[in-house]
């Protein structure tokens, strides 16, 4: 199971609101399964359809554990592109959905299986 600091989740929701109707995307940093920070990487493109992550910019750093992005549709299920990206970028991935309240999120492992993520 993964944990995320409340202020980080609030930051994600705020950034997702700011980006609406586009998607917001960032990487997640964690220590001992607790996500404590989001990392915006230069070159991340906020698309109307999809965020494009600059994989070349992902540091070789074990604190980078996965990704977060928003779904303006409100549906927090991963797309085929999401599943491909998950498999390349770490063990935990969060999708948050419109209207970006603190409850509308889902977490997945690198294969796209739902996993538990608790806000602490
Ligand atoms: Zn997506």
Distance of CA 23 from the midpoint of ligand 1 (Å): 8
User: Tokens 């996500």 label which residue?
Assistant: 35
State pLDDT tens for residues 22-38: 999 999 999 999 999 99
99 pLDDT higher than 80: yes
pTM (two decimals): 0.91
Count of CB atoms within 10 A of residue 37's CB? Answer: 16
Domain boundaries, the chain: 1-44
Region of poorest pLDDT, from 66-70, 86-90, 96-100: 86-90
CA–CA separation, 104 and 117 (whole Å):
12
pLDDT tens, residue by residue, 65-77: 999 999 999 999 9
What's the CA-to-centroid distance between 110 and ligand 1, angstroms? 14
- Would you call the peptide bond into 2 cis, given omega within 30 degrees of 0 as the criterion? no
């Amino acid at each position: 199971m993964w944990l995320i600091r409340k202020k980080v989740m609030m930051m994600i929701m705020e950034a997702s609101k700011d980006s609406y109707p586009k998607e917001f995307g960032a990487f997640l940093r964690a220590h001992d399964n607790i996500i404590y920070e989001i990392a915006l990487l230069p070159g991340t493109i906020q698309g109307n359809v999809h965020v494009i992550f600059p994989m070349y910019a992902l540091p070789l750093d074990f604190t980078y554990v996965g990704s977060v992005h928003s779904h303006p549709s409100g549906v927090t299920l991963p797309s085929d592109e999401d599943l491909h990206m998950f498999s390349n970028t770490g063990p935990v991935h969060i999708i948050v959905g419109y209207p970006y309240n603190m409850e509308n999120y889902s977490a997945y492992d690198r294969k796209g299986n739902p996993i538990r993520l608790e806000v602490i």
